[in-house]
Amino acid sequence: MRKRVLVAGFATRHVVQSAYRAGYDVYAVDHFCDQDLCWYTKDRATFDELDEIPAAIETIASTYPIDIFVVTSGAEDLKTPLPLYGTHPEQVARHLDKLDLQHFFEEHAIPVPRLAAAGDYPCLIKPRRGAGGWRNRIISSEEERNQWEETWPDVPFLCQQVVHGQACSVSCIGDGMHARAVATNEQMLRSEGERAFGFAGSITPFLHAKAGAMVHDAEKAVSLSGCRGSVGVDFIAGETPWAIEINPRFQATVDTVEMATGCNLFSLHVDACRGAIPAAMPEPRRFAARRILFADRDLVVADDLKHLAPRISDIPWVGSEFENGAAVVSAYGWGSTRAGALDMLDKTITHLRRYMSRW
């Protein structure tokens, strides 16, 4: 009998799809419930605000016996009696607080941008909690710092030195004591507006002169963190690979990692939670790229895009409404070279924008 998996979080399609391909019956608690999430799930529940997630989980769990419970962003520290496969909420808490994480990296001699002293500008100001680069800013004066604090008066924050390089990450699998890197990923950021540091896509693998050092530091960090299952470590790759964050959950790079390596990350995640991690880092088979397309104005989806799969995912329903700046759909490209993958990605995006321009 196929085991039942419940995946809960703000956005779950990438994990749901991986679990489906691994042979499970999948259920989801998801904010979006896009078309393709429905293709891969037996049932699903949606929510508007994060504090509604527990009730949505109860809706599914009271109807179906769940064998494996997995969380994504927005639900990492959720406590539930369901059989959790992943990092325990108490362990997660330390890695969601960026100041605690700063001290963790320093304690274990993993290079991290230093905390900025008062009056040390420019610096990067960011909330102590939160994902996706939301509210991160480079500030150059006391006035700009005060403006940030006035905008978000109740948000604890920290300030770090500004470091330069390419945003990237290492995807790891950990068993709570040991870790193995699975892939290196180049990250695309939104680069403008109030979400300039927000995740906008990835390219796997990331071939960089410091990739070996990042893999070493990522495996060290995840091994020492106590995290289990799929865990990501974000870096800025310059002359020094600077560790930025540990993500104690599945990351948004799942799609490109699986496309590039041929691995099933959900299977590796479950195996790790049972005590088994890969013996070696897999060799990438090809390059894979994903780019999230965002609304450039308020819009309503007027075309059914499902015929474009598998070149796209996170496929919205006709009639879905999106505010300016909201994520609408994901586009992909793949090929034997990075340039080839990006060329296919560009063609997919061009095709999508013909539809979006009419909405």
Mean pLDDT for 260-282 is 98
pLDDT, position 93: 84
User: Please, are residues 168 and 208 in contact by the beta-carbon 8 Å criterion?
Assistant: yes
What distance in Å separates the CA atoms of residue 107 and residue 196, rounded to the nearest whole number? 30
pLDDT in tens, 203-258: 999 999 999 999 999 999 999 999 999 999 999 999 899 999 999 999 999 999 99
> For a pLDDT cut of 90, what percent of the chain falls above it?
91
What distance in Å separates the CA atoms of residue 199 and residue 131, rounded to the nearest whole number? 9
pLDDT, position 91: 87
| Confidence band for 194, pLDDT divided at 50, 70 and 90 | low
pLDDT, position 135: 85
Task: Indicate the SS3 state at residue 38.
Answer: helix
Of 134 and 249, more confident? 249
Q: What is the mean pLDDT of the chain?
A: 95
Question: Starting at the edge strand that comes first in sequence, how are the strands of the sheet with 327-335 ordered?
Answer: 241-247, 228-237, 166-175, 179-189, 199-204, 287-294, 327-335, 312-313
pLDDT of 300 above 80: yes
Domains and CATH numbers, the chain: 4-84 (3.40.50.20), 114-161 (no CATH), 164-273 (3.30.470.20), 288-356 (no CATH)
What distance in Å separates the CA atoms of residue 59 and residue 118, rounded to the nearest whole number? 48
pLDDT in tens, 9-46: 999 999 999 999 999 999 999 999 999 999 999 999 99
**Structural element, H or E, at residue 25:** strand 25-30
| Confidence band for 193, pLDDT divided at 50, 70 and 90 | low
Residue whose token pair is 């042979």:
23
Please report, as a single letter, which amino acid is at residue 88. Answer: H
Mean pLDDT for 164-192 is 96
pLDDT, position 139: 92
pLDDT in tens, 37-93: 999 999 999 999 999 999 999 999 999 999 999 999 999 989 999 999 999 998 888
Mean pLDDT for 150-158 is 92
Q: Whole-structure pTM over 0.75, yes or no?
A: yes
pLDDT, position 192: 74
pLDDT, position 170: 98
What distance in Å separates the CA atoms of residue 253 and residue 261, rounded to the nearest whole number? 12
